[in-house]
Structures are given as C-alpha cells and as structure tokens.
Amino acid sequence: MTNHFERAMWLMRRRDPQAREDGFGLLQPHAAEHLGELIAAFRAEEDHGLRCWLLELVGDARSPEALPILVEHLGHEDESFASWAVTGLRKLDTKEARTALYRHRANNAHN
C-alpha cells in the first residue's frame, strides 16, 4: 500500500470483521489529516456500512471543512447518516455547527 489512507481503506473493505475494525482504527486518530480523502471516499462509496464509517470519520476530524457535508446529511432520510451528521456537528462544536443543529431541531419539532 502506498499510504496510510489507502491501507486503512483496503482493510475496511475486507470481509474479515477484525480487519475492517483495524482499518477504521488506523484512520480514526488521523481523520483530520485525511479529511479530503474521506469526503471523496464517502461520496464514491456504495457500501452502506462503509459509508456510515466514513461519515463518522469525517465527524471525528473536528474540522470546519467538514461542516458542509455534515450539514448536508443532517436531515438525510437514512437515519444512520443523519445520526453521524449530528454526532460530527456536536464534535465540531463551532458556532456554525451549533446553529445548524439548532435549526435542525427547530425544523423537526414542527414535523
């Protein structure tokens, strides 16, 4: 494998559950360093479970650059994506993230 990100993604695509967990564990502490790659992988990925993990890692990056994708998935019809978006925005904990969460809660209180 040529780099850390590629190795982790390779592991996360294995059939072996432990290898998948290992790949996630390799990326989690380095999510901020690979944010662009994580977002691109999330957008290109078709496997639902892996997409959830990738969105979780985007939130783990705690980067303002993650705000748009997290807000985009905040009201997603797939509850898994919406949940990881909420979690990521809470971890980001910027004024913009808090505003997005407030608006989301306010809009959903009326539905």
> Domain boundaries in the chain?
4-109
Amino acid at 52: C
Asked whether residue 109 carries a pLDDT value surpassing 80, the answer given is no
Most distant CA pair in the chain, distance: 50
Is residue 30 within 8 A of residue 58, CB to CB? The reply is: no
| pLDDT at site 1 | 39
Distance between CA atoms of 86 and 20, rounded to whole angstroms?
24
* Whole-structure pTM value: 0.93
The answer regarding whether domain 4-109 maps to CATH 1.25.10.10 reads: yes
- For residue 38, which of 18, 78, 9 has the smallest C-alpha distance? 9
* Model confidence pLDDT, tens digit, residues 14-70: 999 999 999 999 999 999 999 999 999 999 999 999 999 999 999 999 999 999 999
The pair of three-digit structure tokens given for residue 75, joined into one six-digit string: 């009201």
